[in-house]
Structure 1
Amino acid sequence: MTSTTKLALRATALAAFAMVSASAFADFDANIEFDNKIENNARGASQAGRVEFNASKKAGSKYFIAGKASFLAKPDGSVGTDDLWVQMGGDTSDIKLGRFEAYNLFQTPGDVIVEYAGFSPYQANVLRGRQGGVTIVPNSGGSYGTAVFHAEGTVQLGGGLSFVLSGVSTKGTGQVNGLRPVLSYANGPLHIAAGLEAMQYHTGNMKRETGLGLTGDYNFGDFTLFANYAAVKSDIGVKQNTFALMAKFGQLTVASVFGKGSTTNADDKVTTFWAAYAIPFFDVKGATVTPAVSFSQGSGTNTAKDSSGASVRVNYAF
């Protein structure tokens, strides 16, 4: 065991002790997620997962302040942080700062295993992920600095309409600045959202990249239908378009994604399907076993080998 791993484990142990000591002042929960996969291109089986410990608290009514920290323990002995943020605001508006996931503009229910042949199509998520300490990887390729600032403001406009604006900035060599405005509407069984990703890079040939994301879902009672569309264009001529259609029937999810345009060729195409079925583990509350399959095939100028796989995910919230 390396000294770095030992220090990380000690830090996690101290964090866990602090969480237990503060149990009278915060809310705690934990869960385990474990995937067992077999993939044709990886030529074999693999396992991956994590135990997640969450500490959160919200205080106030009309005006509030809230915070959350998520600590991860992984099978390889490493530890990490998922969410780590603070949020302040009131009934009609708030701001969030730290490490978190921004608004989802490309819903992918049942994505236990998703294989893409040749390339991953654009999904309006370059600026969405948990940014703190993460290198920005633009959809058009390359890597640009480490995000050290991430903020998101939300305004409730009334009638189910809301506006969300998030911003990301990196520091040092390869600076990136990005804005992500999103307008969403929710009313009963209907939810729709539209947003942009506007990124400015200060190194390399590419200086600007602009993406669009549209997502919606409707609950028909017996099933829920999801649809996504995403498109991106950079100032060096990279163009990509992605369309997805998904349906959830109780515990079963089936999905299809069609992407055109990779970072190297606008005529590259990829078609991907997946399905997952979440089975409750007898009468154990919070426990599910989810078998899933995925298949992907390239077309057009994408001559990559077909990609397929199967997985069984075990979830238990405790």
Structure 2
Amino acid sequence: MKNTFKLSLAAILVSSAMTANAGISIVDNEEGNFSIGGNVELNFNYQDREMMDDSEFNQDGRVLIEFAGEKFTDAGYYVGVKAQPLFESTGNVALDDAYFEFGKQDSWAVRAGRYEAYDMFPVGLDVFLEYSGDTSNELYSDGSAYIYQMKEARGRGADGQIMYYQSFGNLYVELGTMLGDRSGLFSDDGMLGQKTYHGESIVSTKDSFLVRPVVAYNMGDFTVAASMETNLVNDTAVTSSGVDVGDRTGYGLTGNWATGDISVNANFAYMDAVDETNMSVGLNALYKNFGLGYIYGMNEYENKEIKGWADGDVNVSTYYASYEFTNVLAVQDFSVLLGAYYSSVDNKLDNPGSAMFEEHDDYGARIRLFYEF
């Protein structure tokens, strides 16, 4: 992706979510810049999900339009704004990023609105990546393994967020926060019609305050980063027996080595939650236009605060691969991407009556058309 912002090294280190797309520069001078750009993404998907005893063939996609601009002062300070409306192929209109930012060039910045913070579990070229058990890395669902990836406080929440970040040479620091109702982390139970955790209904919620500090250091071809995320407010999600299941703390470590046409990511994430821990490790590599990755999720359940649910381990193995054909038909920024994944569950629960964690294999393939304008 190409920058339309004149941002500091800190903004480059945050992630691709912090950069803007190629587009039309309407204003670009010493006083500031304003541009309009975006991209089109259209997917043709095939999935075979054994748990649902069904195979699917469908199409999805969206058009993203980006408006981005900054204003500079002679003293080196700036203000900036970005908005990215999404026009989905379903007919819905959504929003990707929408934030306001101010700070000093090549130094510090404060960002508020809707965005994603530093990526603590980069998965490389993930054209198609799903997990057996139907639980994503951002939504907890009873009866499914959780592939935790340090994203519960990363961003794009509905109730707002604010972040401070700054670079000191090769050192980058970030302090992100998320505000408001986070009960959307827990999915609805299909039979009970309400949110559940370990078989108990979540009967009361209140606003959370999540913090997510990040420290990253660059050493030539190597970059390493460490982070944690936790909720500072008590009783944000309480079950029918009075257990606060909003009490969750996660830790993450990631490293990247990039040289020439090769880029390799190694990731570790660990979540300490009520009556369960979730640990994920991942390794992926990108060579020129070919990407390959593996993610292993380990979930350990116990019956301490909430009795009578799962006890033991459930693990998930997921493999994925992708390839990108660039400048198709000699059209610059037009790509065709191929992706596939295979995922399986290993149920090692001590109580065999917990049939919700069924062992099954899922796989899928995707063709993606992508154009950046």
Which TM class, normalised by the smaller chain length? 0.7 to 0.9
Query: Are residues 266 and 210 of structure 1, via their aligned partners in 2, closer, same or farther at CA, if it must alter by over 3 Å?
Result: farther
Establish whether residue 129 from structure 1 lines up as the match of residue 155 from structure 2.
Answer: yes
- TM-superposed deviation, 1:149: 2.6
Deviations for 1:85-127, whole angstroms, at most 9, x for unmatched residues?
A: 0110013211000000111100011211112112341001011
Query: Are residues 96 and 43 of structure 1, via their aligned partners in 2, closer, same or farther at CA, if it must alter by over 3 Å?
Result: same
Q: Say whether the 8 Å CA contact 2:175–2:213 is kept in structure 1.
A: yes
Establish whether residue 244 from structure 1 lines up as the match of residue 252 from structure 2.
Answer: no
Runs of 5+ unmatched residues, structure 1: 1-21, 134-147
Determine the C-alpha separation between the residues in 1 that align with 2:26 and 2:257: 39
Match of 1:53 in 2: 65
Counterpart code for 2:218: A
- TM-superposed deviation, 1:155: 2.0
Determine the C-alpha separation between the residues in 2 that align with 1:265 and 1:43: 31
Establish whether residue 163 from structure 1 lines up as the match of residue 173 from structure 2.
Answer: yes
Determine the C-alpha separation between the residues in 2 that align with 1:313 and 1:151: 33
Secondary structure (helix, strand or coil) at the match of 1:113 reads coil
Q: Aligned pair count?
A: 280
- TM-superposed deviation, 1:262: 6.4
Determine the C-alpha separation between the residues in 1 that align with 2:149 and 2:181: 25
Establish whether residue 273 from structure 1 lines up as the match of residue 319 from structure 2.
Answer: yes
- Once the two structures are superposed, the pairs formed by residues 227-266 of structure 1 within 5 Å of their partners are 227-234=266-273, 236-261=274-299
Determine the C-alpha separation between the residues in 2 that align with 1:128 and 1:282: 37
Structure 1 stretches of 4+ moved >3 Å: 22-25, 262-266
Aligned match for 1:150, one of 161, 166, 172? 161
Match of 1:16 in 2: none
Determine the C-alpha separation between the residues in 1 that align with 2:361 and 2:275: 27
Deviates more, 1:71-80 or 1:255-264: 255-264
- TM-superposed deviation, 1:208: 1.3
Q: TM-score, normalised by structure 2?
A: 0.71
Query: Are residues 266 and 193 of structure 1, via their aligned partners in 2, closer, same or farther at CA, if it must alter by over 3 Å?
Result: farther
Determine the C-alpha separation between the residues in 2 that align with 1:159 and 1:75: 43
- TM-superposed deviation, 1:175: 1.5
Establish whether residue 286 from structure 1 lines up as the match of residue 333 from structure 2.
Answer: yes
Deviations for 1:112-146, whole angstroms, at most 9, x for unmatched residues?
A: 11121123410010111311x2xxxxxxxxxxxxx
Determine the C-alpha separation between the residues in 1 that align with 2:152 and 2:162: 15
Q: Say whether the 8 Å CA contact 2:313–2:347 is kept in structure 1.
A: yes
Match of 1:138 in 2: none
Counterpart code for 2:338: P
Q: Say whether the 8 Å CA contact 1:175–1:203 is kept in structure 2.
A: no
Q: TM-score, normalised by structure 1?
A: 0.83
Establish whether residue 29 from structure 1 lines up as the match of residue 37 from structure 2.
Answer: yes
Determine the C-alpha separation between the residues in 2 that align with 1:297 and 1:171: 33
Counterpart code for 1:50: R
Determine the C-alpha separation between the residues in 2 that align with 1:120 and 1:46: 25
Runs of 5+ unmatched residues, structure 2: 1-24, 28-32, 134-144, 183-204, 302-309, 349-356
Match of 2:364 in 1: 309
Match of 2:94 in 1: 80
Secondary structure (helix, strand or coil) at the match of 1:208 reads coil
